[in-house]
Structure 1
């Protein structure tokens, strides 16, 4: 079946390999996240040209940036060659430039309550992005402003809900105190406001054009899993997945877990039967949600399935987001020549489909399978050929490395650990190897205001009780603070061994003082105390999720750097071998000197024989991973012009954000129970800002180390299903007998790495 696409959609569809679409809602794929933004922008402007006075609801999240960028670019270049060429390419040649000021904008959701002046308020973002910058008419807009929603006795929300917590059980139970009575009355007033908001939307005929992302649980707007398909605008709770996703915006899961939302409903979206409802999504991490949303019948388990009743509903996807759709799987096997990678995938997926170990698969099993039956020269040895190729990868993952210089990189602190820690531990055991660990961004966003505030209070108290001896040394404030940073690390690790929590905390305070003196150029103990009081005041007057001053950001970043040094010191790595590059793009100062040159200078200095990096697909997030990959690629390219790098190996890993499949990689590393225990112990002891998971993954309400263990265990199960359980627990190798996890990673030559990274860069940037 081929849908009735618009001109823009038809043009994009023709650029894909798809011949037909079998899903319940039509979709179009693009090769990159930016191109997804171009498709969305062109579709929006195409619709507006036909509906200049229509009702639109547009996204206010970070993922909307490419849509906004291309909408601006198109409108600004509509009548010049650049714009005309683009319009002609995508079916809109000769179209009159649309005007946006007659549109009615509908805000699809908002945290409640929240100060609308905060930068993380969705009201603030909507007004900034669509009213101020894109020129929509505020007088015609329907917006959700917490300040303008009337509450009991005309009081402000900070008086009614002083801790920002709203107990929705007051809808159904008796109020027991005067404050609860005010809260109960206020909740009903908010409910009435929501009903009036819904009425206003319906009076205008309903939403005619909707563009929004989709959450990890499949949520649309804030309609989380389980939402009624006929739901209307309402005040409601969110689920953990949504809370985890919004934690970064609100300053931590502690905040987002307790913050309610006002959202339009799924019924709001379905009220206008002609609603052009578009869901856009990027990256393999969302692929399961996309499959469930497009291939399953309508179900409250999958909110987006409610859009099946809309004839104009669409999904715009990157190839990664669509990778698990039956259409995409068919295309994978049918497009291009057959290779052994396809054979590996077909056989391993057959093991999963029929829950049968590889050695027990029979030829008839393969012939009966849709994809295995396509394997050229299919015979009794086909399964064994796959087993053999996986064994080669396992053997490579067990090889002992000697006389190597490893330069391991991570976009964020903890990325290397969560990606390849068992590998680095084995490398560090051989004295002939030299290991460097380089974190390329500051990572200050991972430290909450509350954590820093409490740490400063502890530091102040230790100073007042004269328990920070180093500040009494006469040369400490002059240059003494610059020395013995290893001593802080050793002090902390010594007290891990001693199980002395108080002394561990004192070790962190030591490092905090060094950082304070370094950043604020402090000269005396009195200045040190004054600076601590100054920062405490700043934090006390900041709202959760608010942007800190640059010096406070740097202080938070140096706390993360201390944590990274602690991790690798567990395995004998000295502070001088842990590098903090603080690339410029992270703080908005991106250029060659700030992003690429620091990496290149380290390559020249240490001359690594192996470089590792996070290789995430399609630049779809976290965005930092893609930017770091490109910076490393440019540094490798420049170094390659200076030296012979024919023997340099590039190791590409993934962690909890994206996952490789065994048929994607060249190396499989077995992980023992001991390695899993080491991972969790060192994560818990060293990443002190992350133990309580203020910014957790939506996949697990807990530490990243626990999620990583879960990923490694599941990957081992994939291999075990192919090789059989006996292979592991009866193996001659003690390591394989102890194996209960697996890590997959790439191993590329310089030429292969540069080809892949620049191909990705071209896909990301080469649209115009």
Structure 2
């Protein structure tokens, strides 16, 4: 009799699960080895994000064909977008000539036997606790919609983690019991109150549930096919760093990084911090020794955490290192997700290196600068012994066969950086700038000290363009608070009622006076006056949103009614729930006020210098659509034709993983710039693009073309402007996983880090003895990558290829 576990995992008349024709084909196409000697976890590398989804889909189908009735566990979130689409596409078009050819090209040997999806046993890998499974952002809801429906799974064999009322009495649920957070020690001590007794009973029931869930998985032989993403702290499922490598299914607490990453699902970190999670363990994943275990990732954002896992050592701080030596484990990664793996860096360097030719110059400069930073020496102090410490520079030295070349190379790198800095100190006058931003704080976090300096020359003209409405950054709780203050202001102040009746808030009137009042109140440190200014802007937003033609905006009772309706609406929405369009727009108007305030802070008239495009692809959906020419591109093109810019700034993040607002806006900006440059009246050959990065990514020092010094006063100004104007971000509901604090502090730290890099590369004397006092006072640096139109369009095309294939 065939052992049940062996049969489920394909050993009965089929190859072991980690022997895959699809995998072999993917490795062959990438022209890279499956594993380098120094890499402890095997890597299947593919070109871009859609290709990643397609290859993993083919591998999954291959496994299902070999393992009917097998046990699977698949991920939630954004990374599976293309995987889900391709599996569904292959299943829906099974047997057609196009699909047969597609799957054959991916290496699938059997394109005739349709995979028996209904035979599979599906186990959800993790879930927030507590959360209603009907909550749109619950992972249970995701599993039912994205996998059970799209893949044709048997609902009776789909095991979701529904523990909303587990262990509760009567009509009470765990959301009620743990509304103020979870204290796991309540099961380890004597409960003090009736609530604690109920909480202890519920938690005990959850612990029992986890044990039974684990036993059910093991009773079926263990998970045969596991596919998971990797979190900002390296977590696999919700096995965060520091956790036991042999852990089982359990209730556990999220660390800060994971809570920050989950904030978008739960309407803010204030909610995700209150929750725990149930997750299968690393030991659960590895229980079946013949399992196919895949962790996949796309984009530069995951490059460092991947490199940490791949290069070792095996440690609880890198959860994926738990899979060292596990035969069926594979990383499936895009090229951009491999950029921090030393072996892959060297492999690409060798492939592209061509001696002293121009094409290799950037590679050579990168290698020399990286070496200097690594050994913490000035560029001009590097020695031949230092060059031997790095594989890339050692290769350069051996190829060029001479110390004279090394000396020239170090001097060239040193002069290159100094020239960039000196050029950045030169004044820019009589130029027109269009500054674009995907999100409302991107410009200030990316390069506010530089923008502030540019506006001091009155011959320069500036237009600040915000592509999206940013409603996702405004929580219901925050906005309800502002609406209630606005209602009190309307009801308690006779003067405000008179303003309404006089047409002060009609949509035809600009909102500049709100900004002036806000700034005057800030200068006077009058918190009540600031609240009044915000309340008046909220009333203006309500009028614009619900009475766009201005027919009823002079009626205090109308505004009162609409404010009250909005309070009721937002109060009934659970955090993270997608709002109706009109209420999305209303939230977005608060973000728009923040930008109006920011540039009012700097002396600009918002109605003249700030443009809010509200690009239509930004809808709050899990998988976002692409920008459209008529809807998203032409409004920006019209603005460019009106303003005739000499410079256009754009968030130039390297991320190529698809559902990313920065990427979508970059594509819209590149399309508008291309159309603008092709216009007969506005030849684009002189148009310069300034690519910037905010707090999510960094430029390499060699990439930066503009290196602008930032003084301590600039940092103080940055923090005050951020905390004053970005009222929704003082305690950000959607913070970065990398830093637990205000975004402006993080931007300051990055600028300081970039300054320290240059101090290492050029030496302290370069700064302390520089003839320009701005350099002597510098304690930070802003990096900008200046591109001409051809370079920018080439970069946009490459990112499009990485994201869309």
The normalised TM-score by structure 1 is 0.96
Bigger mean CA deviation after superposition, 167-176 or 390-399: 390-399
Bigger mean CA deviation after superposition, 591-600 or 690-699: 591-600
The alpha-carbon distance between structure 1 residues 143 and 369, as it changes in their structure 2 partners (threshold 3 A), is closer
Bigger mean CA deviation after superposition, 17-26 or 230-239: 17-26
Look up the SS of the partner of 2:332 in the other structure: strand
Q: 2:509 matched to 1:488?
A: no
Corresponding residue for 2:283? Answer: 267
Corresponding residue for 1:327? Answer: 343
Corresponding residue for 1:667? Answer: 706
Corresponding residue for 2:114? Answer: 97
Corresponding residue for 1:340? Answer: 361
How many angstroms apart in 2 are the aligned matches of 1:458 and 1:486?
A: 20
| Paired residues of 1:359 and 1:724 also in contact (CA < 8 A) | no
Look up the SS of the partner of 2:518 in the other structure: helix
Q: 2:36 matched to 1:21?
A: yes
Corresponding residue for 1:413? Answer: 440
How many angstroms apart in 1 are the aligned matches of 2:565 and 2:318?
A: 49
How many angstroms apart in 2 are the aligned matches of 1:94 and 1:500?
A: 73
How many angstroms apart in 1 are the aligned matches of 2:544 and 2:82?
A: 38
How many angstroms apart in 1 are the aligned matches of 2:175 and 2:595?
A: 42
| Paired residues of 1:109 and 1:222 also in contact (CA < 8 A) | yes
Corresponding residue for 2:245? Answer: 229
Q: 2:678 matched to 1:608?
A: no
Q: CA deviation at 1:15?
A: 2.5
Bigger mean CA deviation after superposition, 166-175 or 116-125: 166-175
Look up the SS of the partner of 1:409 in the other structure: strand
How many angstroms apart in 1 are the aligned matches of 2:135 and 2:18?
A: 42
Q: 2:574 matched to 1:543?
A: yes
Q: CA deviation at 1:367?
A: 4.3
Q: 2:615 matched to 1:586?
A: no
Pick the aligned partner of 2:394 from 373, 390, 395.
Answer: 373
Corresponding residue for 1:498? Answer: 524
Q: 2:431 matched to 1:404?
A: yes
Corresponding residue for 2:327? Answer: 311
1:467-518 Cα deviation digits (max 9, x unpaired): 65365354417x7453241111111111111111111111111111111011
1:37-95 Cα deviation digits (max 9, x unpaired): 11221111111111121100001112211111111122223322321221121112542
Corresponding residue for 1:456? Answer: 483
Q: CA deviation at 1:162?
A: 5.0
| Paired residues of 1:652 and 1:745 also in contact (CA < 8 A) | yes
How many angstroms apart in 1 are the aligned matches of 2:388 and 2:166?
A: 67
How many angstroms apart in 2 are the aligned matches of 1:466 and 1:176?
A: 48
Q: CA deviation at 1:677?
A: 1.4
Corresponding residue for 2:9? Answer: none
Look up the SS of the partner of 2:463 in the other structure: strand
| Paired residues of 1:405 and 1:435 also in contact (CA < 8 A) | yes
Q: CA deviation at 1:317?
A: 1.2
| Paired residues of 1:667 and 1:746 also in contact (CA < 8 A) | yes
Corresponding residue for 2:465? Answer: 438
| Paired residues of 1:363 and 1:380 also in contact (CA < 8 A) | no
Bigger mean CA deviation after superposition, 31-40 or 269-278: 31-40
| Paired residues of 1:17 and 1:331 also in contact (CA < 8 A) | no
Look up the SS of the partner of 1:277 in the other structure: strand
How many angstroms apart in 2 are the aligned matches of 1:92 and 1:157?
A: 47
Corresponding residue for 2:784? Answer: 745
Q: CA deviation at 1:644?
A: 1.1
The alpha-carbon distance between structure 1 residues 11 and 667, as it changes in their structure 2 partners (threshold 3 A), is farther
Corresponding residue for 2:632? Answer: 595
Q: CA deviation at 1:551?
A: 1.5
Q: CA deviation at 1:154?
A: 5.7
Instruction: Tell me the C-alpha RMSD between the 2 structures.
Output: 1.9
1:677-736 Cα deviation digits (max 9, x unpaired): 111110010000001111100011111111111111111111111001111122111011
Q: 2:362 matched to 1:362?
A: no
Pick the aligned partner of 1:702 from 726, 729, 741.
Answer: 741
Pick the aligned partner of 1:353 from 371, 374, 377.
Answer: 374
Q: CA deviation at 1:421?
A: 1.3
Look up the SS of the partner of 1:101 in the other structure: helix
Corresponding residue for 1:630? Answer: 667
Bigger mean CA deviation after superposition, 707-716 or 154-163: 154-163
How many angstroms apart in 2 are the aligned matches of 1:468 and 1:28?
A: 68
| Paired residues of 1:108 and 1:221 also in contact (CA < 8 A) | yes
Q: CA deviation at 1:672?
A: 1.6
Look up the SS of the partner of 1:482 in the other structure: coil
Look up the SS of the partner of 1:320 in the other structure: helix
Bigger mean CA deviation after superposition, 69-78 or 337-346: 337-346
Bigger mean CA deviation after superposition, 333-342 or 484-493: 333-342
How many angstroms apart in 2 are the aligned matches of 1:699 and 1:368?
A: 30
Which structure 1 segments of 5+ residues have no match? Answer: none
The alpha-carbon distance between structure 1 residues 559 and 152, as it changes in their structure 2 partners (threshold 3 A), is closer
| Paired residues of 2:91 and 2:151 also in contact (CA < 8 A) | no
The alpha-carbon distance between structure 1 residues 159 and 511, as it changes in their structure 2 partners (threshold 3 A), is closer
Bigger mean CA deviation after superposition, 82-91 or 48-57: 82-91
How many angstroms apart in 1 are the aligned matches of 2:685 and 2:497?
A: 49
How many angstroms apart in 2 are the aligned matches of 1:107 and 1:408?
A: 44
The alpha-carbon distance between structure 1 residues 725 and 101, as it changes in their structure 2 partners (threshold 3 A), is same
The alpha-carbon distance between structure 1 residues 191 and 423, as it changes in their structure 2 partners (threshold 3 A), is same
Corresponding residue for 1:10? Answer: 24
The equivalences for 1:639-658 within 5 A come to 639-642=676-679, 643-658=682-697
1:237-278 Cα deviation digits (max 9, x unpaired): 110000000111101110000111111011100100111111
Which structure 2 segments of 5+ residues have no match? Answer: 1-16
How many angstroms apart in 1 are the aligned matches of 2:660 and 2:476?
A: 23
How many angstroms apart in 1 are the aligned matches of 2:495 and 2:275?
A: 39
Q: 2:789 matched to 1:757?
A: no
Look up the SS of the partner of 2:662 in the other structure: helix
| Paired residues of 1:32 and 1:618 also in contact (CA < 8 A) | no
The alpha-carbon distance between structure 1 residues 469 and 56, as it changes in their structure 2 partners (threshold 3 A), is same
Corresponding residue for 1:577? Answer: 609
How many angstroms apart in 2 are the aligned matches of 1:4 and 1:110?
A: 28
Bigger mean CA deviation after superposition, 28-37 or 599-608: 28-37
| Paired residues of 2:477 and 2:571 also in contact (CA < 8 A) | no
1:184-239 Cα deviation digits (max 9, x unpaired): 12211110111000000000000011111101111111111111111111111110
| Paired residues of 1:103 and 1:137 also in contact (CA < 8 A) | yes
| Paired residues of 2:435 and 2:463 also in contact (CA < 8 A) | yes
| Paired residues of 2:490 and 2:497 also in contact (CA < 8 A) | no
How many angstroms apart in 2 are the aligned matches of 1:495 and 1:150?
A: 51
| Paired residues of 1:164 and 1:259 also in contact (CA < 8 A) | no
Corresponding residue for 1:528? Answer: 559
Matched residue count:
762
Look up the SS of the partner of 2:702 in the other structure: helix
Bigger mean CA deviation after superposition, 447-456 or 364-373: 364-373
Q: 2:487 matched to 1:466?
A: no
How many angstroms apart in 2 are the aligned matches of 1:615 and 1:303?
A: 31
Corresponding residue for 1:39? Answer: 55
Q: CA deviation at 1:135?
A: 0.9
1:291-311 Cα deviation digits (max 9, x unpaired): 111111321111111112420
Look up the SS of the partner of 1:356 in the other structure: coil
Look up the SS of the partner of 1:34 in the other structure: helix
| Paired residues of 1:482 and 1:514 also in contact (CA < 8 A) | no
1:287-333 Cα deviation digits (max 9, x unpaired): 22111111113211111111124201011112222111122121232
The normalised TM-score by structure 2 is 0.92
Corresponding residue for 1:51? Answer: 67
How many angstroms apart in 1 are the aligned matches of 2:482 and 2:628?
A: 34
